[in-house]
Amino acid sequence: MSATPPRDGSDRAASRATDERRYAEGASALATGAIGAETTAGSEAARLADLRRRLRQTSGRGRRLRGLLVLLRPYRGRVILMFAALIAATAAALAPAPLAKLAIDDGIKNRDVGQLDLIVVAFVVSALVYWGATYLQTYMTGWVGQRALQDLRIQLFQHLQSLSLGFYSRNRAGVVISRLTNDVQALDQLVTDGVTTLFQSTLMLLGVIVTLLIFDAELALWTFLSIPLLALAALAFRIASADAFRRTRERIAAITGYLQETLSGIRIVRSFGQERRHLDRFAELNEANRQANMTTVYLNAAYFPAVELLSALVTTTILVIGGIEVINGNTSTGVVFGFVAALNNFFDPIQQLSQLYTTYQSGMAALDKIFELLDEEPELRDKPGAPDLPPIRGELVFDDVAFRYGGREDDGAWALEGIDLRVPPGQTVALVGETGAGKSTFAKLVARFYDPTAGAIRIDGHDLRDVTAQSLREQLGIVPQEGFLFSGTIADNIAFGRPGASDEEIEAAAGAVGADVFIEQLEHGYDTEVGERGAQLSAGQRQLIAFARALIADPRILVLDEATSNVDIHTETRIEQGMRRLLAGRTAVVIAHRLSTIQHAGLIVVLEHGRIVERGTHDELLAAEGRYWTLYRDWASQAA
């Protein structure tokens, strides 16, 4: 399977930029009232198209919500208990209005102290039930929500581990990090607060409607006249806010991405004195984030006070109509008092559901982003039922291999073409050539970071596409040009190649490549913390540890991608001594610009423009006075 063309990522970026531009235009028009001023047929068509697009963004989320419900399935028992507590709490919250009516009509007006005492006891019992049920519901909601989000983070991280390298070359690390942090946090509010509010407010609203109808059907119908107005306001808010909340997720992701990139490259920023430039750019991103959030502020400021105003107007209307009914003797004071008390519980759930829509929009925008990440398909997949690669001897064969990063459908230049090569078990093959000749691409194909566009790559006769990638990499060791280290100790980083390695094995691996010399000079030796990316060590020291990490894994095939380019001559001499022990009995692919490191290779292959132009031993190629002879002469003159 070939890699996804890089241009796909740029196409998606262009599409997203177009969407963002449309949003920005729509938001500014909405904020200034310009939409209403547009009268031309073209602008009207654009408005309708934008409206349909916004509605589509708020629809089609059923699959994603079902995916969220799947996360709750392992905890269904606690979810049922949570809903039982929620129903009990809602019922207890509905009790005060009917009890108040009974207290006035049956107790106070009739001067019946016994009846009043019973009603007071009922009040206390309902309050205790509400307290206990609310406590249980709140605890269960938090417990289930945090477990579900924990599972989601693990699922996201596991998915990221399965994605191909092409995904990470197209996406900034900070933006991906934002998916696991900012977006999951926004979803946290929806899962822990939103679900409870949704069901409790809905049950409360239904209970209040029944209560109002029982109290006085005529007054209830006057109250229900406000529902169409509330529905229209909610629809308008939904349409206007669809883009706004998605935009806030994108803006915070952009800030996170830029911050991660800037902090990772802080030495370069300082070296070129570009702090002010980066500060200005960060301020621009921050301002864009503020503007995106202010759009939601404007919408909230317009919508929620309008609901409050409508609530006050309805209450006033009910007081006037109900008061007239009491004066005329058509109803009792208790009914009107209880009706007004219940009326608060009518608008409170509506207000809470309206506020929930803000949380819902933000959570759904975050869920959209999370599912966009989960919908990313790995560019390389094992064939169904692919067997593991058995223990290998190390024979490596390139059979008429051709490769380009765009795959078969792309018409770009070939990175490799017409590669026919056989490397016997235990032999070291060195790849030389100018930058861009295809050396690193060759190494990536050996590790199966990509599959060839044409031809086949075989190890011990097994086509790499027919076996699992994991079983291949378990028998493969790679030392890249830059020795990447993880936070932790030197011992931890060496043992990364073989978790559970003993102290003796770690020290033996370090000694084999000459890393023990500088490690033993450190105050804490193998327990020295290396810092993020190994920042506490020099480039040469990091590379030596990378060699030890590869050695301790005991790979049958070893790939060294310009692994000595970041070390000085003295360190390189120590590495060469360790490399002879490291490479003994192993098949190795060595890429090197320092030609002194490959003179003893069993086979040297010269690549140029993705093709093999020469092959042979060091002495044979020098005697031929071809391309290798030119490269060696140039290198020798520079090294002199």
Specify the CATH class of 61-374 in words: mainly alpha
**More confident: 194 or 624:** 624
Question: What is the DSSP annotation of 345-389?
Answer: HHHHHHHHHHHHHHHHHHHHHHHHHHHHHHTPPPS--PPTTPPPP
Render pLDDT for 103-160 as a digit per residue (tens, 0 to 9).
776 767 777 777 777 888 888 898 899 899 989 988 888 888 888 888 888 888 888 8
N-term to C-term CA, the chain:
46
- Tell me the two tokens of residue 571: 């360190």
Q: How many beta carbons lie within 10 A of that of residue 569, not counting itself?
A: 10
- CA 198, distance to chain mean position in Å, is 26
Residue 547 pLDDT greater than 50, yes or no? yes
pLDDT for residue 5: 38
DSSP-derived 3-state class of residue 477: strand
Asked whether 354 and 136 are in contact (CB, 8 A), the reply is: no
Residue 231 pLDDT greater than 50, yes or no? yes
Positive or negative: CA dihedral 21, 26, 28, 29: positive
φ/ψ (deg, to 5) at 373: -70, -45
Distances (CA, A) of 203 to 93, 200, 488: 11, 5, 52
pLDDT for residue 131: 92
Whether pTM exceeds 0.75: no
DSSP-derived 3-state class of residue 605: strand
DSSP-derived 3-state class of residue 133: helix
Structural Rg of the chain based on CA atoms: 35
Best CA proximity match to 611, nearest among 423, 398, 293, 469: 398
**More confident: 70 or 421:** 421
- The C-alpha atoms of residue 375 and residue 354 are separated, in whole angstroms, by 30
Sequence spans of domains, the chain? 1-44, 61-374, 392-475+596-640
List 477's β-bridge partners, or say none.
Answer: 558
b/e code 492-510 from CB counts within 10 Å (16+ = b): bbbbbbbeebeeebbbebb
Beta-carbon contacts of 49 under 8 Å, excluding residues fewer than 6 positions away, are none
Asked whether 594 and 565 are in contact (CB, 8 A), the reply is: yes
φ/ψ (deg, to 5) at 402: -130, 145
pLDDT for residue 10: 39
- Tell me the two tokens of residue 633: 């002469």
Q: Which residue type occupies 408?
A: R
Q: Which CATH architecture has domain 392-475+596-640?
A: 3-Layer(aba) Sandwich (3.40)
Residue 590 pLDDT greater than 80, yes or no? yes
- Do domains 61-374 and 392-475+596-640 share one topology? The answer is no
Render pLDDT for 299-342 as a digit per residue (tens, 0 to 9).
778 777 877 788 788 888 877 887 887 787 777 777 777 777 77
